[in-house]
Amino acid sequence: MKIRIKFRKYGSLKYIGHLDVQRFFQKAVRRAGIDVAYTTGFSPHQIMSFAAPLGVGLESNGEYMDVEVNSFTSCEDIVNRLNQASVEGIEILSAVVLPKEAGNAMASVAAAGYSVRFREGREPAFDWRGQMAAFFARESIPFTKETKRGTAEINLKSGIFAFELQGDSIYMLLNASSAGNIKPQMVIEAFLAAYHDTLKENALMITREETYTNIGTQEAPELVPLAAVGLENVYA
């Protein structure tokens, strides 16, 4: 049985990397006494997978991992056990039981929603709030991306599904699939470059608000949170 667990990462733990998060949850699952399933073979390990890795320095209210268990009492019990075994900076928000046909967390990711703010004193030199709507209305948003073979010119426009200016915060819904993964910093850099400005060092505060999967089609997408494909009120 596969359980999809949603958690938030905040505070000083935003500075630990994805591999450290994996190792933390491997230990937390054992401390919580969860009947996790293991692979077979010479070096068995917990059957666990994560959705899109979060960049170092980013906070999140919508991280996900899938874990396979041999048995459990209830989704609520798993949340309580993991929170008791957790530390400040990682909070378990929910757990759902996945249907057999559900794909794993990483393969299911289609989009992610972010809140982005400029740190005080590191804002752009121009009236960025007044120019943002016109920028996102452009037919093309070019960006030069670093690749293993050098650089490549891409168009970010098709991967920006939504944006909204909310006071001093910018909300953006971006393509987060493996085929077209777009980072919020890329969008901000392209925005500033269009007005002959550059992003100052450590200028952005970014929070991933939610991670989405597509339950529709490629032609008619329907984005829902990764937890929406499971069942929450399930008991053994």
- Please identify every stretch of the chain with a pLDDT value under 50, giving residue numbers as ranges: none
Kindly tell me the burial class for residue 47, based on how many C-beta atoms sit within 10 Å of its own C-beta (0-12, 13-18, 19 or more).
Answer: middle
Distance separating alpha carbons of residues 21 and 141, to the nearest angstrom: 34
Instruction: Judge whether 109 and 211 are in contact, CB under 8 Å.
Output: yes
User: What is the model's pLDDT at position 58?
Assistant: 96
Distance separating alpha carbons of residues 7 and 211, to the nearest angstrom: 11
Nearest 10 degrees: Cα torsion 224, 231, 81, 236: -170
Read off the pTM. 0.91
**Sign of the Cα pseudo-torsion (79, 61, 156, 186, in order):** negative
Distance separating alpha carbons of residues 52 and 191, to the nearest angstrom: 24
Kindly tell me the burial class for residue 98, based on how many C-beta atoms sit within 10 Å of its own C-beta (0-12, 13-18, 19 or more).
Answer: buried
Distance separating alpha carbons of residues 104 and 106, to the nearest angstrom: 6
User: What is the model's pLDDT at position 233?
Assistant: 62
**Would you call 110 helix, strand, or coil by DSSP?**
strand
**Would you call 126 helix, strand, or coil by DSSP?**
coil
Express the helix, strand and coil content of the chain in percent, nearest 5 each: 25, 35, 40
**Sign of the Cα pseudo-torsion (39, 42, 45, 50, in order):** negative
Instruction: Judge whether 102 and 108 are in contact, CB under 8 Å.
Output: yes
Tokens of 216: 């529709």
